[in-house]
Structure 1
């Protein structure tokens, strides 16, 4: 009888853990800018819905060829991180090669507008969030690293803190790769599109030092030299930032390690800044 009672108590405890654990949902958002529905992963932490306290939000952008579920494969511990830091995590679908731009040549691609305006507004409407830039963070890997800085540099009224891992921060050297010409046109015919949409050329937008951000890239990554040049340009202009380079390639192992430290970086920012509604 005693063993049966112990088993029932253990089962109830296990069920309680399952009920209270973080939740992974798919949110479908209609983009008016592109006239289509877009899927997004939303992870809410343990206890969400039981408290009146609003939550900070971290947006994670995937790389070229990925989709809204890519981050769950890259970092399976995201649900545990949502619980650990008591945050909401949002993973948008950025198409396989949007580069998170509003394409100057293709009006059907407006992912800058989608993520920075439509998605943020929908998340703030559907979830109990702190509706304040100081309570929003954004990061991503590869194409998503470009996207995170591109969006944060241009919309630092939306995100107070940002990071990039293995980011394509200068797209100009890759004029024939990863579908970028589909978004910007050929470099030979539209050089201004490439100049105006490379993150390394947008640092003047944050020269007033409003944005807190971190650059992270492995020394064996094919984007390493681009990230190093971005760091040097920021240093020359005396724009505060964190810079990390360490052994590593352009792969999920590197990103899986990076996200642990970037979430800590974001958490410290959240704790040090006012996040009133």
Structure 2
């Protein structure tokens, strides 16, 4: 089984104690441990691939471990998984609140690479998330394309401007204090908060991570994801699209889909 660490430390960016959870694959393999000699499968000195797993609204760093089998999946895929807490912030440097984008993209990777056996190479660094964290993965990855080689979002809030409008109109419920998160929440389209604008900037600069977009057909964000897929492909984006018939906005779906994503990240299969 993998090594599981629950770390509490002082964050300079957040200016308070915070918690992260880290899963590190270990040499003994799966649950069957015998007296036979164990072959070391991992080059810890070289550094292991790492995926930053982002949580959704209402969640925190414990969401992935509590509701999925990510510990087993990280072990079998030989990848380090890192999970942090950002409240209901959409992974932003909040207008009134904590600078979570700086924390996630700068302080956290520096902390992780200093303490754990992870690679610092772009080709070994990935980010994935679901729902709010699905938007977060695309937002973080496309904002810092020089740091992440692959981005994956499940049931992602792909169109932050449209989601804000739906929340203001009462069509979608959520725990988001939009005025605290964004300085101008009604004018997000075309800004650096907008995934489509971020993708355009990546194109302009010639550095684009590989992209994975997944959603179930019964998810309340399904139509938004379909529209985002069409818009991105019209812009010339090459993305891996995964659609699951009947799947909803829940952990039954995300637990299955993250296995496909890890396969994709580790080049084990093509979807």
Report the equivalent of 1:184: 182
Change (3 A) 1:23 1:195: same
Report the equivalent of 1:110: 99
Residue 76 (structure 2) pairs with residue 73 (structure 1):
no
Report the Cα offset of residue 184 of structure 1.
1.6
Question: Per-residue displacement from partner, 1:112-154 (whole Å, max 9, x unpaired)?
Answer: 1101110011000001211111111110110000100000000
Report the Cα offset of residue 92 of structure 1.
1.0
TM-score after normalising by structure 1: 0.81
Residue 72 (structure 2) pairs with residue 92 (structure 1):
no
Computed over aligned residues only, the root mean square deviation of the Cα atoms, in angstroms, reads 2.1
Report the equivalent of 2:121: 132
Report the Cα offset of residue 86 of structure 1.
1.3
CA distance in 2, matches of 1:132, 1:215: 23
Secondary structure class of the residue paired with 1:192 = coil
Secondary structure class of the residue paired with 2:267 = helix
**Residue among 39, 44, 61 paired with 2:24:** 44
Report the Cα offset of residue 193 of structure 1.
4.2
Structure 1, 131-140 or 47-56: larger mean CA deviation: 47-56
In structure 1, list runs of 5 or more residues that go unmatched.
Answer: 1-20, 272-277
Report the equivalent of 1:62: 55
Report the Cα offset of residue 52 of structure 1.
3.0
8 Å CA contact 2:196, 2:232 repeated in 1: no
Report the equivalent of 1:10: none
Report the Cα offset of residue 209 of structure 1.
5.2
TM-score after normalising by structure 2: 0.83
CA distance in 1, matches of 2:228, 2:198: 10
Report the equivalent of 1:229: 227
CA distance in 2, matches of 1:61, 1:51: 24
CA distance in 2, matches of 1:233, 1:201: 11
Report the equivalent of 2:7: 27
Structure with the larger helix share: 1
Report the equivalent of 2:92: 101
Report the Cα offset of residue 29 of structure 1.
4.0
Change (3 A) 1:50 1:216: closer
In structure 2, list runs of 5 or more residues that go unmatched.
Answer: 28-39, 168-173
Secondary structure class of the residue paired with 2:266 = helix
Report the equivalent of 1:266: 265
Residue 154 (structure 2) pairs with residue 165 (structure 1):
yes
8 Å CA contact 1:184, 1:194 repeated in 2: no
Change (3 A) 1:233 1:193: closer
8 Å CA contact 2:22, 2:83 repeated in 1: yes
Report the Cα offset of residue 178 of structure 1.
2.9
CA distance in 2, matches of 1:131, 1:249: 35
CA distance in 1, matches of 2:227, 2:249: 17
CA distance in 1, matches of 2:18, 2:128: 19
Report the equivalent of 1:201: 197
Secondary structure class of the residue paired with 2:4 = strand
